[in-house]
């Protein structure tokens, strides 16, 4: 009988973060990452083989979509990762690897349902990161799932150029403001794309209007023409001028080869 579960295929370890490869039953590779912190463990799991997103700044943006991962594959990968990393700190399962989770919303939702129904030594919480594609799917998720809205820029022309499959900015802002659960804006800082005063000011105003914090991420380019912004602290200061709550996250992306879709080895 064919083993339908992905098989662990090796890993690389940065010391803080481990990037783990799995081979699916039909011969494709998918990756997950585990980030260990004193207060919690984060497991980042991919949702698609390839991606439908076509985001210009992302290593998965140029990948052909092969297929969605199933609820059983994603759940198995999380359990496998937990098994090899025992501990009793809370675990955040974050659907933010390769793939757009909301394009595979039903399987992601069912995977959360399966994990909630299982006994695990650690308390599990859930998050998903979206590039703003198929945001109407958020309605069907349990409202304690944290949503990280990856927003490169509120400028519609920049947004369309960088994330061509995303919903329009109006729909994104509506979803951001209306989602009733925990949420935040995630913005990777990219040179000559969004690291300017105008963009940071606009982001700050949006964050204040919707009552969310902004997490500025250090951009870690993989297979892309874009580079990391050279003025991250200045961007943070510009954003905070608006009164918005904002932080600069420097280590997460670096350790796990950056956020959404960047699970490719350099
Ligand atoms: S940023 Fe996310 S949705 Fe966009 S191409 Fe990368 S993995 Fe896909």
Going from N- to C-terminal start, the domains of the chain cover 7-256
- Answer yes or no: is the C-beta of 61 below 6 A from any ligand 1 atom: yes
Among the listed residues 61, 45, 50, 183, the one whose alpha carbon sits nearest the alpha carbon of residue 107:
45
Fold of 7-256: TIM Barrel (3.20.20)
Residue 209: is its pLDDT beyond 90? yes
Q: Taking the model in full, what pTM does it have?
A: 0.92
Mutate to test the pocket of ligand 1, among 50, 57, 99 (most ligand atoms within 8 A of CB): 99
- Answer yes or no: is the C-beta of 58 below 6 A from any ligand 1 atom: yes
Task: Give the DSSP letter of residue 21.
Answer: E
Cα 63 to averaged position of ligand 1 atoms, centre (Å): 10
pLDDT in tens, 136-178: 999 999 999 999 999 999 999 999 999 999 999 999 999 999 9
Cα 54 to averaged position of ligand 1 atoms, centre (Å): 7
Mutate to test the pocket of ligand 1, among 33, 45, 59, 61 (most ligand atoms within 8 A of CB): 61
Mutate to test the pocket of ligand 1, among 260, 262, 263 (most ligand atoms within 8 A of CB): 260
Q: Which two tokens stand for residue 45?
A: 């799991």
- Burial 15-37, CB ≥16 within 10 A → b, else e: eebbbbbbebeeeeebbbbbbee
Residue 181: is its pLDDT beyond 90? yes
- Answer yes or no: is the C-beta of 261 below 6 A from any ligand 1 atom: yes
The length of the chain, given as a count of residues:
266
Residue 250: is its pLDDT beyond 70? no
User: Are 159 and 166 contacting, i.e. CB atoms less than 8 angstroms apart?
Assistant: yes
Q: Is 95 exposed, middle or buried (0-12, 13-18, 19+ CB in 10 A)?
A: buried
| pLDDT averaged over every residue in the chain | 90
Among the listed residues 212, 206, 191, 201, the one whose alpha carbon sits nearest the alpha carbon of residue 242:
201
For residue 1, what pLDDT is reported? 41
């Amino acid at each position: 009988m064919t083993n339908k579960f992905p098989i662990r295929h090796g890993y690389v370890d940065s010391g803080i973060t481990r990037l783990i490869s799995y081979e699916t039953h039909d011969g494709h590779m998918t990756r997950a990452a585990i980030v260990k912190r004193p207060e919690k463990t984060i497991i980042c799991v991919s949702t698609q083989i390839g991606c439908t997103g076509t985001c210009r700044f992302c290593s998965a943006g140029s990948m052909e979509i092969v297929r969605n991962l199933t609820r059983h594959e994603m759940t198995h990968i999380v359990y496998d990762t937990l098994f090899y990393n025992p501990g009793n700190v809370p675990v955040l399962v974050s659907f933010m690897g390769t793939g757009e989770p909301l394009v595979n919303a039903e399987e992601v939702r069912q995977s959360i349902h399966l994990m909630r129904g299982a006994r695990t030594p650690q308390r599990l919480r859930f998050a998903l990161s979206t590039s703003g594609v198929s945001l109407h799917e958020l309605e069907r998720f349990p409202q304690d799932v944290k949503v990280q809205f990856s927003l490169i820029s509120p400028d519609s022309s920049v947004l369309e150029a960088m994330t061509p499959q995303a919903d329009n900015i109006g729909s994104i802002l509506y979803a951001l403001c209306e989602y009733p659960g925990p949420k935040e804006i995630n913005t990777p800082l990219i040179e000559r794309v969004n690291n300017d005063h105008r963009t940071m000011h606009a982001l700050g105003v949006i964050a204040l209007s919707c009552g969310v914090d902004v997490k500025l991420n250090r951009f870690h380019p993989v297979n892309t023409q874009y580079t990391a912004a050279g003025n991250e602290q200045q961007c943070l200061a510009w954003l905070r001028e608006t009164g918005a709550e904002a932080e600069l996250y420097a280590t997460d992306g670096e350790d796990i080869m950056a956020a959404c879709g960047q699970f490719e080895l350099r």
